[in-house]
Structure 1
Amino acid sequence: MPTILRIDGFRLYFYSHEPNEPPHVHVDKGACSAKVWLHDTAVARSSGFSA
């Protein structure tokens, strides 16, 4: 899984093969994780991050 960016403890990355899903990035920081759709920057799922 290629890392796009590391900044302030956040890691943004993508998987090279996730068929049948719109373009998105994964974001991790510590035990927190999220998936963000790129077309409208909407959060697809989030675990551990506060709203």
Structure 2
Amino acid sequence: MLSKSIFKILAKLNKIIIPRYSKKDLNRLSKIDQALIAYRYWVTKNSLD
């Protein structure tokens, strides 16, 4: 498992680089956009543990 500090750095990079999807309908997103949301969720979840 990666260390918590690496996940915190990844979370900060994600916030800058990856677009936000908060105002979009999640059911109408493409598979790539859904994968990006899943990746952001995984990184955020692991940075907070």
TM range (shorter): under 0.3
TM-score, normalised on structure 1?
0.21
Bigger Cα Rg: 2
RCO comparison, higher one (Cα < 8 Å, 6+): 2
Quick check: which one's helix share is greater? 2
Quick check: which one's strand share is greater? 1
TM-score, normalised on structure 2?
0.21
